[in-house]
Structures are given as C-alpha cells and as structure tokens.
Structure 1
Amino acid sequence: MNNRAELLESNVSKEAPEEYLQRCIDLQNVVKNIWAQTPLLFQHLVPSNLAEVDGKGGIYIIGLLDSNEILYVGRTVNLKQRLYTNHLMGNQSNARLKKYLVADKILHEFALQNGKELFLPNDADHNHKMSFEEAKNFLRNRCYVKFILIDESRIRGLQECGLAYALNVKYIEEEH
C-alpha cells in the first residue's frame, strides 16, 4: 500500500455508522418539533411576549406567512434579545436578516405591492436598494418566528445547521 488513496480506502467503511443514521432521524424530530410550535407573528413581537425566554438559548426559524418558505434559521444564547432587539429592531451591525432582505428582490416586490417609493433619493441608477425601515416593516407584515429552547451551545449549533439544510433556508451566512 504505497498509495495514500489505497490506505484511506482500506481504513474507511463504506457503510455509514449507525450513530450517523440515528442523527438523521433525530433531525427529523427536530424539524417536527419546531414546525409544531405556535408561530409568533413579528407584528405582535414585543419584549413582553418574549419574557419567558429572556436569557434562554435556542434555535429558531423565520418564515413567510403566505407560504412555507423559511427565510432564516438561527441560534442564540438569548432568544428575546436576538429576536426582538437584533432581528426586528436592530441596525446594520446586528440585523443580518434585514441585510439580506434589503439586498433581495423579495423586499422590492413587497414595496411595490404596498405602493412605496422604491429608490433611495440619491440612487441615480435605481438599484432597488431598500431601507432597513422597509425591511423591518416586511418582517412585521409578512413574517413569523418559531423557536425551541436548547441549553447546550454545541447542540444548538448542530441543529441550526441541520435545520438550514432540511428546511432549504433561503438565506445562509456567506462563507469566509
């Protein structure tokens, strides 16, 4: 066995280990669990509605009200802070979903339906850039969130990744 490929082939099973297959079944249960949660509409999202999860970690999905499309999957150590302070009320530095919406055609279509001015005042090229305020209105009028509590950070990370794949999430963090 002089060839590295031969060495690897001889040491690696061609059958997936049972524990890996079990995690796929576990992921199905995570999908069922989060999908079964009552959606919290962003239009009703105020700090008092999130008091029970203040300081608690979990994973969450943000979806469109008029379809089953999931826009975003996330994890956090503090659901109240992440959902209300960052996603809904946040600025450019901490509202990742709003950044995606501002750059996306979906928000342009929403603005058209609501008769909004589509261009920034100094946008000579009419590049359809939306404001963060319009993105916030989009979240309030068209989106919901569902979440489940998870204490352990590593489990939150693993399940966030699995949900992003299983739910075919629209927005994924850019690679770096």
Structure 2
Amino acid sequence: MSPYPVPAETVKATRARYLIALTAATFVLTSCGTTPVDENSLPTATSSAPLTGGTHTTLDAVTATLPPVLAQSSICSQGSNTEAGDLYLLCSVSPASPLNQGFSDNNIVYLVWVNKAEAERTLQHWREENRPELVTENTTHTAAARLEYRDAVNSVHYVDTITGLNIDISAGGLETAEAATTFLHRADLMN
C-alpha cells in the first residue's frame, strides 16, 4: 500500500484505461479470428477431418514462423489457444516501423497462429468459393491473401500452407486493398 493517498480520479482513470484496453484486446481476439468454415460445404476428402494442431504453443515458436522482417517489426503478446490447441498471438506493428510507413498513425494489429491443416483447408475454401477476385496467391500457389474491402466489410486474411501461418489483420490500419497488398509485400508474406 502506498504511504501517499491516490486521488480517486486517478484510480478511476487508470481503471477506465485498463478496461478500454481489455475490451479492445477482447474485441480484436474475437472479431479477427478466422471465419468458421462449414465443413459440410467443402467437397475435399479431408474436409470432414478434425483440425489437429498444438505444435506451436509458445510465443517463440509462433514468432519464429513469421518472416524475419515482420517478426522484428512486431510486438506480440500471448492470447488463448484455438480449439486445435494452437496459441494465438496478438501482435502490432508500430507507425514508426518501415512496414507501416505511409499507412496510418496507428498500429497495424494482427492475430497470428500456426496450423498447417487449417491453412490448407482455408486456401482450398477460398479457391472454391464464389469470390475468387478477393484472393491473391503467391507465385508458387502455397500462400494467399484474401482482401475484402466493400460496404461495411474490411478484412485481410493470410495463409501459408508450407509454414502453416494463419494471419488475420485488423483492416483499421490498412484502409484500402492497395495498402493491404503493399503491407503484405513489405512483410515478406507475398512475393
């Protein structure tokens, strides 16, 4: 206990900032997760198999999978585990980072987890759905980004079937599809 009295306004302001930060983190973790896939609608033979994971369960294991330029520019904290046992990380890229130059005065915030089976299933789903114009694949067709900027929907999702990276980027820091594409290239996620 502090020997000096703390004004009630300071305590209230500190609690309010904590609650706002907690609410924002909870919102990002719940709203930026992957879109659930209706397994019955996917025609692949492996679509009904449950996702397995749990191979990347520490902060270091997940960040080691990121491209070095993105890992070095990101500040990450542990989230919870997916149903498959994979650790989510909540990461941000500062406006001072070269990856964020010219995009926003705010951090670019993203969720990342590693699950190869989920990345493969997601990419297959993107290829089969009725909006192929939203998906951009790399030259080897092993990674892809799905960028949706229309109406009230702004979303940036990325998967890599080789590393198992699954990334959901909060589109608030990347206001256009062009900005999102540039960020993905700068971060060495797309070639």
Structure having the larger proportion of residues in helix: 1
Pick the structure with more strand per residue: 2
Indicate the TM-score class for this superposition, using the shorter chain for normalisation: under 0.3
Higher RCO, Cα 8 Å, sep 6+: 1
TM-score with structure 1 length normalisation? 0.26
Larger Rg: 1
